[in-house]
Chains A and B, each alone.
Chain A
Amino acid sequence: MNDSDTVEEQEESSILVWLTGLTFLAAMVAVFIYVPTERTEGVIQRIMYFHIPCAWLSFFAFFVVFICSILFLWKKDREWDIYAHASAGIGVVFCSLVLITGPIWARPIWGAWWVWDARLTSTLILWIIYVSYLMLRSQSDAGSMRARYAAVLGIVGFLDIPLIHFSVLWWRSFHPQPKVISSEGIGKGMETGMLATLGISLCAFTLLYFLLMGVRVRQEKLKDEVDRLKRETLYSS
C-alpha cells in the first residue's frame, strides 16, 4: 500500500464519517420532531426507529459473516476470514442493543421485560451463537483449524435468521407481526411518515456498519502485520 492509497482511503473514510453523522442527525430530527406519535402505544413506539435498524444491522452483519465464511472455507484466503471476523463483532454489538431495547419497549406494553416467546428466544440464541463464534476466533490464529471451525459456526449461525423472521408467523407470539416486509408488500403496513423515518434510520445504521467495518478490517490487517513482525523479531534475535 503506498502513500496515495492511504490518502485516498482517509478521504473516503472522512466522507463516510460526515455522511453517517448527517444521516444520524436527520434520523434524530425525524424520530423526535417529524414523525407522528403512534395512537395505541404512544411515545414509547418511537423505540422502533432504533430497535429495527439495530436488528437490521446485526442481521446484515451476520449475513456478511455467512458469505465471507463460505468464501474463506472455499478459497482459503485470509482476506475473507478478516471480513467475517470483523463483521461478527459488529453484529454482536448491535444484536446486544436489540436485546436491550426490546425489553425496554416490552415492559410498558406487555407488562414484562422478557417472555420466552419464539422471536425473543431465537434472537437470544443468535446472540449466543455469534458470541461463541467470537470466543472461538479469539482463541485461534489466522488460518488455523479453529478459524475454520469458527467459519462453520458463522455459517450455521446464520440459519437462525430466517427462523427469527418467520417465528411470528409460524407460532403464536407476543411480538408484533412484520410491518416493513409483510404479506401486503414492502412498507404497506405503515403510515408514510413512519416509513420515511424508519428508512432514514435504516440508512444511518447501514452507513455506520460500513464505517465500523472499515475500521475493524484495518485493525485486523494491522494485527496480522504486528504478528508477522513479532515472529520476525523472534527469529532474528
Chain B
Amino acid sequence: MDNLGFLFAANAFVWGGIIFYVHTLKQRSRALEKDLEILKETLSKEG
C-alpha cells in the first residue's frame, strides 16, 4: 500500500512524543517528591 511508511512515521511520532512527555513528567514528579521528603526531614531534625 502506498505511503504506509509516512502513516507509520506520523503515528510513531505522536505515540513517541506522548510517551516521552509522560515519562519526563513522571521523573520530574519523583524528583520533586524526593526533594520534599528531604526538606521535611531536614526541618524536623532542626526544629
Which A residues are closer than 8 A to B by beta carbons? 42-44, 46-47, 50-51, 54, 93, 96-97, 100-101, 104-105, 107-108, 208, 212, 215-216, 218-219, 222-223, 225-226, 229-230, 232-233, 236-237
* B interface residues with partner A (beta carbon < 8 Å): 1-4, 6-7, 9-11, 13-14, 17-18, 21-22, 25, 28-29, 32-33, 35-36, 39-40, 42-43, 46-47
Q: How long is the Cα–Cα vector from A46 to B1 in the complex, in angstroms?
A: 13
B2 touches A100 (CB 8 A): no
Q: What are 19 A-B contacts defined by CB distance under 8 Å?
A: A42-B3, A43-B1, A43-B2, A47-B6, A47-B7, A47-B10, A47-B11, A50-B14, A93-B21, A101-B14, A105-B6, A105-B10, A108-B2, A208-B18, A216-B25, A226-B32, A226-B39, A229-B43, A236-B43
In the assembled complex, the CB of B37 is this many whole angstroms from the nearest CB of chain A, namely 10
Residues B11 and A50 in contact, CB atoms below 8 Å apart: yes
Chain A, residue nearest B11 (CB): A50
State in angstroms the CA–CA spacing of A100 and B16 once bound together.
12
Q: Among A104, A208, A233, find the residue whose CB has the most chain B CB atoms closer than 10 A.
A: A104
- Look across to chain B and name the residue whose beta carbon is closest to the beta carbon of A54: B14
Determine the chain B residues whose CB is within 8 A of the CB of A54 once the complex forms: 14
State the CA gap A180–B14 with chains docked (Å): 21
> Given the complex of chains A and B, what is the CA–CA distance between A216 and B13 in angstroms?
22
